[in-house]
Structure 1
Amino acid sequence: MITEHAKHWLTQALANIDALPAMPAIALKLMALKLDSAAGEAQLMTLVEQDPQISAKLISLANSPSIGLARKVCSVGEASVLLGLDRVKAVALGIAVISNFPQLPGSQNFAPQDLWLHSLTIAIAMHTLSLSMPEHLRPQHDQIYLAGLLHDIGYMAIHYLDNAASNELHHQLRLQPKRPVMEIELQTLGASHCYIGAQLARQWSLPEEIVTVLGYHHDPYVDQIAANNPLVRLVNLAEKLLPNFGITEYCGNEIGEHEWRALGIAPEKADELRDNINELAIQAAQIADVF
C-alpha cells in the first residue's frame, strides 16, 4: 500500500528529476565513439588517459583476480589489450556516469561506496555467468559491464534528490531484510529505484537495452521486452546469487531451473557457478576502494 507521504515524495521527485546531474561530457563522447577504425581506437585511448579517475579504475579492474592475469598491468594501453577496447569503452562510460554524481555524503544507512562495490561485483558476476551461455544468446561484453555497473543507479538518484528519504529507505531495507525491496520502496517512496533509474537513463539518452535493464532487473518477466533481453535476466540472476552483497536489497534467493535455462545455462552447473561467483565477490571487495 502506497502511503500519502510516499505519493507526495514521488510527485516531488519527478518534478525535480531535471535537477539531477546532466550526462558528463566525456560520457557523451564515449557513447558517440565508433571503434571500427584506428582513429576511433586512438580517440578512445586519448579520452581515457586524459581522465585520471577513469584510468586508475580501469587499471585496477585489469589487475583484479577476476580477470586472471598473471602479470601486473601498469598502463591504460596494457589494460585495453587485456580487457578489449569494447569493454574498456563500456567500463569507462559506466565509471563516468557513476562518478558524475557529486561526492555526496553518506548517511547512517547508505554509503555510495557500498553501492559501487555492489554494482562492480554484479558486473563481474554477469560476465562469469555469460561465459556459460551459448554464443547466440550471450550479450556483448561491453553491454554486460555497462548494465552491471549502472543497474542500480536509481539509488544514487534517490540519494541525490532527497538524502533523508534515501536514509529512511535503506533503514527500512535493513529492518526488513527478507521483504522484497520493491514492496518496501513503494510503501516508503511511492516508486522503486528501478523506475527512478530508468527515468534518469532516458533523460541521459542511454541505450534502450540499458534503460530496460534499469527498469526491470527486479521483475524480468513482467514485460515481454524485458523478458527477451538477456541482460535483464543476467542482472536478476546475479543479484539472487549475491544477496545483500554491498547493500541490503532482498530480491529472493530461490532460482528456478527455468531461470537458468532461459539463459541457456544447464541447471547442473548452478552450484559450480555459485561457488565461483562468491569467490569473485570476495576478490572484488579487495579493489572496491579504487572504485
Structure 2
Amino acid sequence: MSVGVSVEYLTETAAAPVRVVLLHDRTGKVLALLPANALLDLGRLGQLAGRELQPVKAEDAQRFFNQAALQTPAGREQLFTLPLLVDQSCPSGALKCLEPHSGWQCELARRPVHDRVLSGEFALTPTLPHAAVAGLSDDETVINRAVERFTSLRVRQRLDDLLGLPGMSDSMRTIVQLRSNPDAGVDDLVPVVKRDPSLSAQVMGWSSSPYYAAPGKVRSIEDAIIRVLGFDLVINLALGVAMGKVMQLPDDTPRGSIYYWDQALYTATLCERLAAKAQLDERPRPGLAYLSGLLHNFGYLVLAHLFPPHFSRLSRYIEANPHLEQQQIEHEVLHVTREQIGGWLLENWKLPDEVAAAVRFQQAPELAGEHQVYARLLFLASRLLRAEGLSDGPKAAPDEALMAHLGLEAEDVRQAVAEVKAEAENLSQVSRLFSQKH
C-alpha cells in the first residue's frame, strides 16, 4: 500500500521537522509523528489510540531503525504502513522525520494517509516558567502544591516532616556539621567514622578499591583517611552514603538510564577536576565542587519517594521525550522539578550554601548569585558527560563561553573528560559500595 512516501531531496524550508516515536503494547507496534521539539503526552496518545502504549527502550529503537531495510526507499515506505498516530499540528505537506535514539532520518513528500492513520492532539509545547528556574517563586510553596495535587496528604505541618523522610542518624548530623565547618579536620572525622560500623566498612572498602590504588595494605581507619583518601573525599563520600540511606534508589527508573551512583561519581569527579583546573582569581574549592556533583541529582530520589504512583509515569514520559531536559518533563508531569526539591532540601539540611545553590541552579547557573561558579561547573560537567554517554539527558555541544567564564582551556577540559572516561569502570566499582549493606 502506497502511503505517499518520497525520498527525494527536500530543502529545510520545504519540509517541517517532525519526530518519529516507536511505541508498543501487547497488540503490536505503533508509530507516532509529532513536531520535533514537542512533548509527547502519553495519556492523550493512549486515549486517541484506545491502547496503553509505551515507548520502546532506547536500545530497541536503535536496533529497529538501524535495520538495513529501513535505509532503502522501499523499506521506509513500508515502515509508514504501520498503525500511525499523527498529531494534528503536523502539516499535511512535506515532512523531515527524525528518530532521536538512532539518528535515523526520512523525508516524506506529504503526510501519510491510509486507513490505519489516526490524527489527534497529543503533542504539548513544553513549558518551564522562568520562576521555576530562577527561584522567583517560593520553592517550598511549589513543593507543597505538588504534594497536595498528587497525594492524599494535606500540608498542615513543616514540609520536612511531611515528606516522611527517615531521620538523619547521629553520625550523619555530625558529618553535615563537619562539612559546614571550615576548621574541621581529620582528627574530628576519624572518631565519627569509627563510631559507625557501616561507615567504617565503607571507608575501608573505598580505600582498598582499585580506583584509589593505595600502595601496601590499608590497616586502619586512620590509615585509610590520612594516607589514601583524605579528609575532603571521605567526608563527601560519607555524606553521600548517609543521604543514600535516607533515600532509597527507585525501582522503576527510565530504561537505559545511567545507574544513579555511577552518574553521581562521574559528575563529582569531573566537577572536582574542572575546579582544580579553573584559572580564576577566586578558584572554586574542589571538595565543594565534588560534593555538588555527588548530590546534583538527589532531588530525583526525593521525587521517587514523594510520588511513587506517579514516578513510573514520569519514567515513561522521560523515555518518550529523550530530546527534552528532564526538568521540563518533571514540571509537566509533577509540577515540581528535581532541582527545586533537591536544592530546598539540601539548604534545609544545612549543607554548604555553595552546594545547595549549585544543585538548585544547575540548569541556570547565572542565577546562582555569588555561588554561580559551582553551578557553572555542574552545568558544564553534566553536558560533557552526556556527550560521552556517562550522564542522562539530551546531548548538546560544549559551551565554549561557559568554559571561558570558568577560566578553562579547551585542552584542559578535554583531558579531564578523557581521564574520567578512562576511569569509569573503577569509579563504577566504587559506586557499588554505596549500595552495599554492612
Q: Does the 8 Å CA contact 2:385/2:391 hold for their aligned counterparts?
A: no
Task: Name the structure where helix makes up a greater proportion of residues.
Answer: 1
TM-score by length of structure 2 reads: 0.57
Alignment-derived partner of residue 268 in structure 2: 123
Distance 1:105-1:237 versus aligned 2 partners, 3 A rule:
closer
Alignment pair present for 1:257 and 2:400: yes
Alignment pair present for 1:187 and 2:332: yes
Q: Does the 8 Å CA contact 1:24/1:97 hold for their aligned counterparts?
A: no
Structure 2 SS opposite 1:206: coil
Number of residue equivalences? 283
For residues 204 and 289 of structure 2, the distance between their equivalents in structure 1, rounded to whole angstroms, comes to 19
Gaps of 5+ in 1: none
Distance 1:99-1:137 versus aligned 2 partners, 3 A rule:
farther
Distance 1:49-1:213 versus aligned 2 partners, 3 A rule:
same
For residues 256 and 317 of structure 2, the distance between their equivalents in structure 1, rounded to whole angstroms, comes to 15
Structure 2 SS opposite 1:274: helix
For residues 147 and 164 of structure 1, the distance between their equivalents in structure 2, rounded to whole angstroms, comes to 29
Matches within 5 A, 1:132-151: 132-134=277-279, 136-151=281-296
Structure 1 SS opposite 2:345: helix
Alignment pair present for 1:19 and 2:163: yes
Alignment-derived partner of residue 78 in structure 1: 223
For residues 257 and 2 of structure 1, the distance between their equivalents in structure 2, rounded to whole angstroms, comes to 26
Matches within 5 A, 1:162-181: 162-181=307-326
2:235 pairs, out of 84, 89, 92, with: 89
Q: CA deviation at 1:249?
A: 2.9
Which one-letter code corresponds to 2:401 in the other structure? H
Structure with bigger gyration radius: 2
Alignment-derived partner of residue 232 in structure 1: 375
Which one-letter code corresponds to 1:195 in the other structure? Q
Point out the more displaced range, 73-82 or 108-117.
108-117
Alignment-derived partner of residue 93 in structure 2: none
For residues 177 and 341 of structure 2, the distance between their equivalents in structure 1, rounded to whole angstroms, comes to 25
Q: CA deviation at 1:229?
A: 2.6
Distance 1:71-1:125 versus aligned 2 partners, 3 A rule:
farther
Which one-letter code corresponds to 2:239 in the other structure? L
Distance 1:86-1:288 versus aligned 2 partners, 3 A rule:
closer
Alignment-derived partner of residue 244 in structure 2: 98
TM-score by length of structure 1 reads: 0.82
Structure 1 SS opposite 2:429: helix
Alignment-derived partner of residue 242 in structure 1: 385
Alignment pair present for 1:47 and 2:192: yes
2:176 pairs, out of 22, 31, 45, with: 31
Point out the more displaced range, 257-266 or 163-172.
163-172
Which one-letter code corresponds to 1:177 in the other structure? P
Alignment pair present for 1:199 and 2:344: yes
Distance 1:246-1:55 versus aligned 2 partners, 3 A rule:
farther
Structure 1 SS opposite 2:363: coil
Q: CA deviation at 1:76?
A: 2.5
Which one-letter code corresponds to 1:19 in the other structure? L
Point out the more displaced range, 254-263 or 68-77.
68-77
Distance 1:108-1:253 versus aligned 2 partners, 3 A rule:
closer
Structure 2 SS opposite 1:217: coil
Q: Does the 8 Å CA contact 2:284/2:374 hold for their aligned counterparts?
A: yes
Gaps of 5+ in 2: 1-125, 129-142
For residues 122 and 158 of structure 1, the distance between their equivalents in structure 2, rounded to whole angstroms, comes to 20
1:59 pairs, out of 191, 204, 208, with: 204
Render the CA deviation track for 1:47-71: whole Å, top value 9, x for unaligned.
1122233233333443455545444
Render the CA deviation track for 1:129-162: whole Å, top value 9, x for unaligned.
2232237443223312321221111011011111
Q: Does the 8 Å CA contact 1:241/1:274 hold for their aligned counterparts?
A: yes
Alignment-derived partner of residue 362 in structure 2: 217
For residues 111 and 159 of structure 1, the distance between their equivalents in structure 2, rounded to whole angstroms, comes to 17
Report the identity percentage: 24
Larger RCO: Structure 1 or Structure 2 (Cα < 8 Å, ≥ 6 residues apart)? 1
Alignment-derived partner of residue 432 in structure 2: 289
